[in-house]
Amino acid sequence: MTGTQLRPTVGTDTEFQPRLSLRRKVGAVFGVLTVVAMAIGLLTLGTLIVDVVRDGWSVLSWDFIRNFPSRRPSEAGIRSALIGTVYVMVLVAVIAFPLGVSAAVYLEEFAPKNRLTSFIELNISNLAAVPSIVYGLLGLGIFVRALTLGPSVIAGALTLSLLILPIIIIASREALRAVPPSIREAGYALGASRWQTVRMFVLPVAMPGILTGTILALSRAIGETAPLITIGALTYIAFTPKSLLDPFTVLPIQIYNWVSRPQPAFHQLAAGGIIILLAVLLSFNALAIVLRARLQRQIRD
């Protein structure tokens, strides 16, 4: 039980071969590799944007936005797709936001810690990772057939709402969890009920985070193609939906329609559509950032 067997080495290392310079070099190479990995991702993103803009820049014009799709590439536009996207997205926001926030409030503020709750939580995590096309099959079976809504605007909106609901719930829960307990205590200290505390104290503080998460979820929905094709959204329509039960198309489907044609002229139209789609997504994300900044400032003042 003594330290005598283990004398410290004095002077040069003979028992060790530390090879410090080699290890340093290997480490440096590895460091470079991590940067290369990130650079590959960033460069691909850059290439993709440059490629799309180069291909699609020439078709961008007011006519491109104003016109309905056409067999003649020079006359084709994205009017019906753009309007369809706006209709569907407004509906999705109206349906998914209140449901998602309510579910998050329940799970974060009200739910007892029991098996049902943890089952719901596991279920939501799984739903967030279910392939979007499976939601399409769900929408096809339930909304289009069973509820006989047909391949309509409302069926599409309901399908996409279910698709992004888990994302909104998860983001909103995170925002609620970030609210410091002192805020809740301020409410309870006054004898406010749980709901009053949540409504008047917790939700206002959590709202910037909730809205940001919702906007990001909506931007996921804007880009979704497969579930809407599955429920039977049209790929070519030359009219705009007048009611919730009318057929529709959306921007990503229009893009897909043009990509899948062999003629290069349609590929250019697809690239033009992509530019518009990415611009819409970018402004959505910018909106999320601005909104978060503004609401945070408001709460601070």
Which of positions 33-52 make contact with other proteins (CB under 8 A)? 33-38, 40-42, 44-45, 47-48, 51-52
Select from 237, 22, 210, 21 the least CA-distant residue to 105. Answer: 210
Q: Does 114 bind other proteins (CB under 8 A)?
A: no
CA distance 293 to 176: 17
Question: Smaller CB distance to other proteins: residue 95 or 153?
Answer: 95
Shortest distance, CB of residue 283 to other proteins, whole angstroms? 13
Closest residue by Cα to residue 177 from 105, 112, 127: 105
Q: Using the rule CB under 8 A, is 152 a contact of other proteins?
A: no
Amino acid, res. 253: I
Look at phi and psi of residue 132 and say left if phi exceeds 0, alpha if psi is from -120 to 50, else beta. alpha
Q: How far is CA 297 from CA 6, 75, 291, in A?
A: 62, 47, 10
Instruction: Examine residue 115 and tell whether it contacts other proteins (CB under 8 A).
Output: no
Using rule CB under 8 A, residue 62 touches other proteins: no
Among 77, 219, 249, 295, binds other proteins (CB under 8 A): 219
C-alpha to C-alpha distance for 91 and 244, rounded to whole angstroms: 10
Q: Choose between 153 and 295: whose C-beta lies nearer to other proteins.
A: 295
The dihedral built from the CA positions of residue 238, 240, 244 and 248, taken in this order, carries a sign that is: positive
For the bound state, the minimum distance from the C-beta of residue 79 to other proteins, rounded and expressed in Å, comes to 19
Angle at the Cα of 122 from the Cα atoms of 117 and 126, rounded to 5 degrees? 145
Instruction: Please tell me whether residue 297 adopts helix, strand or coil conformation.
Output: helix
Minimum CB separation of residue 183 from other proteins in Å reads: 7
AA identity, residue 15: E
| Residue 279 within binding range of other proteins, rule CB under 8 A | no
Minimum Å distance from CB 121 to other proteins? 9
Interaction of residue 73 with other proteins, rule CB under 8 A = no
Q: Which stretch binds other proteins (CB under 8 A): 62-70, 74-82, 115-123, 239-247?
A: 115-123
If binding is defined by CB under 8 A, does position 4 make contact with other proteins? yes
**Under the criterion CB under 8 A, does residue 260 sit at the interface with other proteins?**
yes
- 60 contributes a contact to other proteins by CB under 8 A: no
Q: Which stretch binds other proteins (CB under 8 A): 72-80, 82-90, 128-136, 239-247?
A: 128-136
Burial tier of 71 (Cβ tally within 10 Å: 0-12, 13-18, 19+): exposed
CB of 102 to other proteins, least distance (A): 4
Write each residue from 159 to 178 as x if it is in contact with other proteins (CB under 8 A), else as -, in one continuous string: ---x--xx--x---------
Task: State yes or no: residue 181 binds other proteins (CB under 8 A).
Answer: no
Site size with other proteins, rule: CB under 8 A:
120
User: Does the footprint of other proteins cover residue 12 (CB under 8 A)?
Assistant: no
The answer to the question of residue 247 lying near other proteins (CB under 8 A) is no
How many Å apart are CA 197 and CA 217, to the nearest integer?
27
**Residues 6+ positions from 241 with CB-CB distance below 8 Å:** 83, 84, 87, 152, 153, 247, 248
Nearest-approach distance from CB 300 to other proteins, in angstroms: 5
Q: Indicate whether 267 belongs to the interface with other proteins (CB under 8 A).
A: yes
The whole-angstrom distance between residue 205's C-alpha and the CA centroid of its chain comes to 22
